[in-house]
Amino acid sequence: MSTGERRVCLLTGASGTLGDAFCRAYYRDYDIVAVCRTHTPAAPSQLEWYVDPLAPDAAVPENDSRIFVVRSDLTQPGEVERVVDLALARFGHVDLLVNNAAHIRLHPRGIVDGDAALADFDPHFALNVGVPLRFSARLAQRCWLHAGPENRARNRNIVNVSSISGSEVYPGQTLYSASKAALNQLTRNIAAEFAEFGVRANAIAPNSFPTLVPTEQVARAIVELDASDGTGAVYGVGVELNQVDEADGLSLRLADADP
């Protein structure tokens, strides 16, 4: 079970660029269920323990980490449910779900260059849309649906990691962009549906990181959204004004200050 007042965060894509940065920056603030497929995040977890060679019996602060690493291919049947079960068994509840895992494969010659794009449709939508949908539904069914007062008291919420590609057109990104646009709309609908039992849902749509926006700034946007009271919006991170589509709901209100 969770100890103290730290919030419990279930984070997918924990070994990727953003997931790893989030774990390293916030493992002292959150109890984190770090879901990864291959590599593990470079932060203290149940997989790593530290001993001070000069005082081998002394407590080392890093060993207080509550990062709980779970390896999973989330696109396989039953894996989302297994991760949810492990998270609830380990910490008892989930306050923040961060759907960060994503699939991207570019098709620089377009979708008509052979059948590669057609073959990549399912991988993009299964991980970028299907997995966030399944995690949201399973967490609601197993611990949020009948806990409205507790949900509101703990300000429980979902942050989906989208992309500026979900509202802009970039060469070679047709499938990735379409999947992120679908994730944006999934976020808005989940927010409307989950409001009944007090769980919020938002998305961040960062510009390319770490090339155009520091990864730490994107990670900080997740924490800012977790601490906010907003729901049903998609927030740009590191997005220029001429890239903002107000009709699509993008906003510059969060995490656009210099790091």
Would you place residue 237 in the very low, low, confident or very high pLDDT band (cuts 50, 70, 90)? very high
The pLDDT tens digits of the residues spanning 164-180 come to 999 889 999 999 999 99
Q: Cα(70)–Cα(15) distance, rounded to whole angstroms?
A: 11
Q: Is 204 strand, coil or helix?
A: strand
pLDDT for the residue 242: 53
Of the two residues 232 and 254, the one the predictor is more confident about is 232
- Find the mean pLDDT for residues 67-96: 97
Say if residues 179 and 126 touch (Cβ distance below 8 Å).
Answer: no
For the cut 90, the answer to whether the pLDDT of residue 68 exceeds it is yes
| Mean pLDDT (whole number) for 204-217 | 92
Q: Is 27 a catalytic site residue?
A: no
CA distance 193 to 202: 13
**For all residues of the chain together, what is the average pLDDT?**
89
Q: Where is pLDDT greater, at 259 or 71?
A: 71
Tokens representing residue 237 in the block: 């991170």
Active-site residue (options: 26, 27, 176, 235): 176
Location of structure tokens 């907003």:
230
pLDDT score recorded for residue 64 = 73
pLDDT at residue 162 greater than cutoff 70? yes
Instruction: Decide if pLDDT at 249 tops 50.
Output: no
Query: How far is the C-alpha of 239 from the C-alpha of 182, rounded, in Å?
Result: 19
Q: Which one-letter amino acid corresponds to residue 228?
A: S
- Of the pLDDT bands very low, low, confident and very high (cuts 50, 70, 90), residue 245 is low
Q: What is the pLDDT of residues 89-109, one digit of tens each?
A: 999 999 999 999 999 999 999
pLDDT score for 251: 46
Average pLDDT over residues 198-216: 93
Residue predicted with more confidence, 38 or 72? 72
pLDDT category, 59, cuts 50, 70, 90? confident
Whether 28 has a pLDDT exceeding 60, the answer reads yes
Q: What is the pLDDT of residue 252?
A: 47
Residue 153's pLDDT band (cuts 50, 70, 90):
very high
Name the strands in the sheet holding 250-251, side by side, starting at the edge strand that comes first in the sequence: 68-71, 30-36, 7-12, 96-99, 157-161, 200-206, 234-237, 250-251
Over 90: is that where the pLDDT of 46 sits?
A: no
pTM of the full structure:
0.89
**Residue 10 in contact with residue 31, Cβ under 8 Å?**
no
Question: Could you report the per-residue pLDDT of 211-231, keeping only the tens digit for each?
Answer: 889 999 999 999 999 999 999
CA dihedral 215, 252, 156, 199 (to 10 degrees): -130
Dihedral sign of CA atoms 192, 123, 167, 115 in order: negative
CB neighbourhood size of 127 (10 A): 22
Note the Cα 91 to chain centre separation in Å: 18
